[in-house]
Amino acid sequence: MARKKLLMGEVARDSDLVFNTPASFLEFFHQINCEIVLELACGKAAYVRELAKRYPNRFFIGVDVKADRIGYAVERAREERLDNVAFLNIRIEDLADFFPENSVSEIWITFADPFLKPSKSNRRLTAPGFLEIYSKILKTKGLLHMKTDSDLLYEFSIESLTANPDFDILAVADDLYSVDDLPLDLVIQTPFEQKHLKNNLTIKYVLSLRKPESNCGNCSCCN
């Protein structure tokens, strides 16, 4: 197991699809000329790999600090012959060094660790410090999706987004699979989601939108 982890870490380190410094990534980034979608805490990047198959005209980037999981994502992306994905093996805390302001169309946060202890609440990926980063890199009207099995993270996220003047919450679901006519992009299941469903946990979802800088009410961004 430990050996497999090491091997997968090496796959990530050797891959030209994986970046971990702003300089190398930004050179690559500036050659992308379509909409950019991120999956944060992507693990093996099941969500972005599936989205990449569905939307060949968009570019998808998975972000995770664990090199072995990124290595696995790279192997699967190669097997699946995806040419519209790349990966950042970095801490999400550093995201603003990798993306210019207003450059990302959509962010997905899939089954992030809930960090149950109140003393660690600032590490939850919807804590105010993280929302500040997302609000910088997201385009106006860019979307932030969050799926979780955790009641605590779900409620914390709603509170944190409600308190943040840069975001509007567009939709919430405390039991996603009880919603009628669910958009197909919401039923993609990551390994962690599959595990939680097996354990009969309900899946929760929050969708929010990056508001325009100043809400003048007249321009095309505001309407």
List residues binding ligand SAM (CB under 6 A): 41-43, 46, 64-66, 69, 91-93, 110-113, 190-193
Q: How far is CA 161 from CA 84, 131, 158, 216, in A?
A: 30, 8, 5, 21
State the maximum Cα–Cα separation within the chain, in Å, rounded to a whole number.
Answer: 59
- CB-based closest residue to ligand SAM: 43
Separation of alpha carbons 133 and 129, rounded Å? 7
Nearest-approach distance from CB 5 to ligand SAM, in angstroms: 12
In the complex, minimum distance from the CB of residue 153 to ligand SAM, in angstroms, rounded to a whole number: 11
Reported as type and span, the H/E element at residue 37 is strand 36-40
Residue 21 burial by Cβ neighbours in a 10 Å radius (0-12, 13-18, 19+): exposed
Active site residue: 113, 168, 174, 185, which one? 113
Under 8 Å between Cβ of 9 and 3: no
Nearer to ligand SAM, 42 or 206 (CB): 42
Spatial contact of 191 and 43, defined as CB atoms under 8 Å apart: yes
- Is residue 113 part of the annotated active site? The answer reads yes
Instruction: Please say which residue, 8 or 211, places its beta carbon nearer to ligand SAM.
Output: 8
With respect to ligand SAM, which residue has the nearer C-beta, 69 or 211? 69
Tell me which residue has tokens 């899939």.
110
CB of 212 to ligand SAM, least distance (A): 28
DSSP 112: -
Closer Cβ to ligand SAM, 120 or 216, answer by number: 120
**Least spacing, CB of residue 89 vs ligand SAM, in Å:** 9
Point out the residues that are catalytic. 113
